[in-house]
Amino acid sequence: MQFYMAATYHLVSHPPMRLKFHNLFLVVLPISLGLTLSSCTSPTQPEHRIIELQAQAWHEVNNDEAVAILYTQQQAGNPQQLNQLIQQKLNTAFAIAKKYPSVKISSGQQNTSPIYNQRQRITGWTTHAEIILKSTDLKSVSELLGILQDQLMLQSLKFQVSTQQRKQVENQLITEVSKIFQQRATIAQQAWHSSNYELVRFKILSNTQSTQPIIYQSAMGDAAATASAPAPMQAGQSQIIVEATGSVQLK
């Protein structure tokens, strides 16, 4: 009796377990197939039609800023004495320049080197010291250079576009070069029979080219010979250039 009950329990309980196993297998199989098919399917890659373009705009502007470098060169038997001579010259120049508040004055390079005799022994010292004048007040710069010729020598004089004027002109040119770039993109779009275009990359660069050469001391000899004579001012012009490069994708 006990054996029959055990056998009956075994026969009744075993089939449901087998059915559950088959049901689980049938449910999981379609999901696995679906994932496999999805991973094998690759989307169609869009066709890229990218065209590289460039544009340029420029303006001629008057140089409105002068930069002058003046120097003194002194010799002495010892560095301490030499330093006193140099500082005396520079202090006098700075004191004179303060009378022209529109002119910015600053110290430039200063180099000291020994003087050797034929036996390669140091017999003295020499120093080359510079000051720099910078201003958009060209008249004041000219007058100040004429006065400082009594104390210093003119090393170079150049004219350039001031930072303020350059930024103003560059802002205008950025608008112009952007319009030119867009016009060329539209021309390319129409030539390739495209319905539209999209900007991919756009880069703007600026450059300034001066047409005024730097005036050096040798070219200022006649002016320097006359004490306190105003230095000649021929500022000239510069060309401010803004370039744009980039690429567009035709649709």
* pTM recorded for the entire structure: 0.69
Of the two residues 37 and 204, the one the predictor is more confident about is: 204
- Here the tokens at position 124 are 């003295």
Amino acid 138: pLDDT: 94
Look up residue 49 and give its DSSP letter: -
Is residue 35 over pLDDT 50?
no
Segment 85-91 mean pLDDT: 94
φ and ψ of 245, to 5 deg: -130, 150
Q: Which residues contact 249 (CB under 8 A, 6 or more apart)?
A: 48, 49, 50, 51, 197, 198, 200
Alpha-carbon gap, residue 22 to 17, rounded angstroms: 9
Is residue 12 over pLDDT 60?
no
Q: What is the pLDDT of residues 144-153, one digit of tens each?
A: 999 998 889 9
